[in-house]
Structure 1
């Protein structure tokens, strides 16, 4: 995401850049697991350094502070999720929506700790963390709008309805990865059908946003 990219860009370039980026990515991967299993307040920088088996100063070098480290973890997870959900933009609308939900669910299934971090946070009410999460919602809402209407610039009522659907997707997905059933394909079809209902409701309230034709049975 932009904030993370800016932090990296602002740091003086040094020899061994590829190795430095690999080490930073390794620290973020470790942090995903740590913050998934332990609350933010319960982890000290000493704890993080011990688990990562590095000097504490190295974490400060890359991330400036524990908070910077935590935000970098969230931003990295967000980039993965949005990229997975928003790919294959050349596909027809209906196919793209199915692929979007399939990619979203696969990501959540294969990266459960990161997904919970994105959706649930872990530092109480943190405005910056919530802003990152809201950015995910906006990006995925844009993806759905592009697939349904061919554009992301849609009326406020339509965006509000899609945001509501997105929040229901998050709740269903969190419950699903916690239980492991039903099958991913069934959950995907459920979310797509709920989206279809949302799009038809949008059409009733905002005729300028007609719902795509239902796929043939």
Structure 2
């Protein structure tokens, strides 16, 4: 076997390994959505996944590592789903970002709750993942509003205040489901518009996008 063939076989093996890991994360997302963390053993996880327990250990080391991988994957999906679309006008990018955020929370409720509430008790690594999620969301909203990643301190503080409200509203909404997503999106966008206008008063470099 020549080197080209070896590289090809290695790449295929890596692709299969990554696909298997993603499959196990998807299975774990469903398991932890329906069963509490403490109630699931590694034997339970392996049985539901239809794999040997050793495979879970191979990819994730232990149950906590598995759970953290699931939350990390959820954070990445949330940020990707909510990230702004660059070819839209500023106001539409903002609305798209909020709607993408709500869609993710609606269709992945357990993962969203784990991100926002910190998962199983206080865990520094879970909290770090939550901070990562917030930072990526702030970047997404900054891109949507101003087409930039860097935020002045005042703008960041104001957006964190608004985002904290978004998290509370979203948690209540997915628990009650008494309002259509479009209505919740409109409420949150209106609140963001007010926040962006306030920021613009103090930060001329961050003008509020014109309303659509």
Could you tell me which residue of structure 2 aligns to residue 192 of structure 1? Answer: 189
Structure 1 position 15, deviation (Å): 6.1
Q: Indicate yes or no: 2:191 matched with 1:157.
A: no
Q: Indicate yes or no: 2:104 matched with 1:143.
A: no
Decide whether the 8 Å contact of 1:39 with 1:122 is kept in 2. Answer: no
Decide whether the 8 Å contact of 1:82 with 1:140 is kept in 2. Answer: yes
Alignment of 1:75-154 (within 5 A): 75-154=72-151
Among 165, 174, 179, the alignment partner of 1:177 is 174
Q: Indicate yes or no: 2:164 matched with 1:167.
A: yes
Give the secondary structure class of the aligned counterpart of 1:123. coil
Decide whether the 8 Å contact of 1:36 with 1:117 is kept in 2. Answer: no
Could you tell me which residue of structure 2 aligns to residue 21 of structure 1? Answer: 18
TM-score normalized by structure 2?
0.87
Decide whether the 8 Å contact of 1:36 with 1:116 is kept in 2. Answer: no
Question: What whole-Å deviation, never above 9, does each CA across 1:13-65 have from its counterpart, x for those lacking one?
Answer: 68644333332222111211222233323322122222222211010011111
Cα distance, 1:212–1:106 mapped onto 2, change above 3 Å: same
Give the 4+ runs in structure 1 shifted more than 4 A: none
Among 68, 71, 84, the alignment partner of 2:68 is 71
TM-score normalized by structure 1?
0.86
The gaps in structure 2 that reach 5 residues or longer are 1-9
Give the secondary structure class of the aligned counterpart of 2:93. helix
Take 2:154 and 2:84, find their aligned partners in 1: how far apart are those partners? 26
Take 1:147 and 1:27, find their aligned partners in 2: how far apart are those partners? 33
Q: Name which one, 1 or 2, has greater alpha-carbon Rg.
A: 2
The gaps in structure 1 that reach 5 residues or longer are 1-12
